[in-house]
Chains A and B, each alone.
Chain A
Amino acid sequence: MSLTLSASVIVQGVLTGLVYGLMALGLSVIFGIVRVVNFAHGEFAVLAMYIAYLLFFWLKLDPFLAALPIAALFFGVGYLLQRALINSFVARAEHDQFILMVGLAIVLVNGCLMIFGPEARHAELSYSLDSWLAGPLIIDAVRVYAAIGSLVVALMLLAFFRLTDTGTAIRACADNRLAAAIVGLDTRRLYALTFGLGLACVGAAGAMQTAIIDPNPSLAPGMTLLAFTVVIVGGLGSLIGALFAGILIGVAEALSSLVMAPSMKSLASFAVLVLVLVLRPQGLFGKGG
């Protein structure tokens, strides 16, 4: 294994990891603020991939452009879903929420299976196989676009939370739910917005991934797990943490598929997870114990 090869692999891992980070960001936002575990997260990602595939197939819309309308659509879906269904589960036990979300996940993934069948669908972009030579490194163009897109969406989300009143109000809800009710924040509306934002992230991430991975229903559970791993490694509630953990996991997976076998790449992410849970249970960027 040469040095340049591993350097290329690391760069690819960083790029992939940023997409993971965006997906995990969506989960982290929902988990950290609404306190509901979205076990259907990967299923939503796959749904976004299929929608991006359809938009490309019918309208020749580039998946990187489709990420915008898909994110908007997912925002609306998340908002309504939280208002109509999930809000009544906010105060319920964790395992009840779990069953609800698993039910939703089963509906989503089997809906995709019924419509599209079990075979992977491929969106053949004109630049699918383009790559650049940066010095001795070979870098896939689509991964660069996906990474830049993910970074832009993630930064927009961070800016929203830091700089707007509504964003601050959402952080306030996460900080002290009782206080939020006391000052008269409409927590139901804020939760619905939060769920919408979380799904918008996963919608954008899924759409962009269509350029890299062919959509297939069986991808979904693995993606849910991956998003969870990233959130916990990064630290619950830390948005920056989710991005960095995404990169870390991306690199770990890329390196392990180089050193061992591609089928063993998720072994690396679980090893990182176990290490973090044992050595620093609150996550790399989490606060306190």
Chain B
Amino acid sequence: MLSIRNLSVFYGDAQALDNVSLDVPAGSITAIVGANGAGKTTLIRTIAGMLSAASGEISYKERIITGLPGHQVCDLGIGQVAEGRQVFPTLTVEENLAMGAMLPRARASRKRNLERVYTMFPRLSERRRQNAGTMSGGEQQMLAIGRCLMGEPELIMFDEPSLGLSPALVSDMLATIGSLSQSGLTCILVEQNVAQSLKLSAYAYVLENGRIVLSGSGAAVLGDDRVRQAYLGL
């Protein structure tokens, strides 16, 4: 579904991504694992069109999207749930959700999608008139996911969705992602909970200092000695 070939990205003089190639097959979860500063968020933002690539190519559904501006990338059906949730704090929950449906692809079915999101997260429905900034971290994460779904994405990129959540909420969150994937959505999952996210994922890539150093099925990567040592402390 998404395919990246030889992607390099720079921040000023510093190279953040170095010749990265990866494939995200449709309908499953692909995990990207790596330490802080390995380039995971850079990768997601480059795919989303928020950063520009120095070289390399990103193609989505057989179409090259490198260099497209962010709002056009979103309109192709590539959604994002960013690190730190990134809600609009002074907008109400419902206004936040409406902002997810501003894309041309999603405008017509906005009402139906809103119902769907409220069914999925009844808590958001209860708080629809509340300002997003006054909600708890878990509720804001629901809002971020709901807002992303309002854009009718076919691929969702999750960047550290469980960051700052309690262990119980982390399991809920990963379960939600699992069920979204089961409903046919393609997911990219960047997570700190390496073990849990690899178990959930069909494929996985390990990113170190901007390079892919290991890839394979989720189970294979989870079984790799280097991964067990570096990320699981085993």
Contact = CB atoms under 8 A, between A and B. Distances in A.
Closest 10 CB pairs of A and B: A184-B74, A179-B86, A186-B71, A175-B88, A184-B71, A172-B88, A182-B82, A172-B99, A182-B80, A183-B100
B102 A169 contact: yes
Interface string B82-119: 10001111110001101110110000000000000000
Given A168-B91, A171-B90, A172-B99, A181 B147 contact: no
Interface of A: 165, 168-169, 171-172, 175-176, 178-188
Given A168-B98, A186-B71, 19 more contacts: A165-B102, A168-B99, A169-B99, A169-B102, A171-B88, A175-B91, A178-B86, A179-B88, A181-B48, A182-B82, A183-B102, A184-B71, A184-B73, A184-B75, A184-B102, A184-B103, A184-B151, A185-B99, A186-B69
B102 A182 contact: no
Contacts, number: 62
15 contacts: A168-B91, A169-B102, A171-B88, A176-B87, A179-B88, A182-B80, A182-B86, A183-B74, A183-B102, A183-B147, A183-B148, A184-B74, A184-B103, A185-B99, A186-B71
User: Interface centre among B48, B96, B148, by most A CB within 10 Å?
Assistant: B96
Nearest to A287: B90
Interface string B13-57: 000000000000000000000000000000000001010000000
A187 B50 CA distance: 11
Interface residues of B, number: 26
Contacts of A175: 88-91
A176 B48 contact: no
B137 interface: no
A171 B48 CA distance: 22
Contacts of B99: 168-169, 172, 180, 183, 185
Contacts of B80: 182
A178 B102 contact: no
B70 interface: yes
Given A169-B99, A172-B99, A182 B48 contact: yes
Contacts of B151: 183-184
Contacts of A183: 74, 99-100, 102, 147-148, 151
Contact of B88 (A176, A184, A187, A188): A176
B41 to A, nearest CB: 11
A188 B69 CA distance: 10
A179 B80 CA distance: 10
Contacts of B98: 165, 168
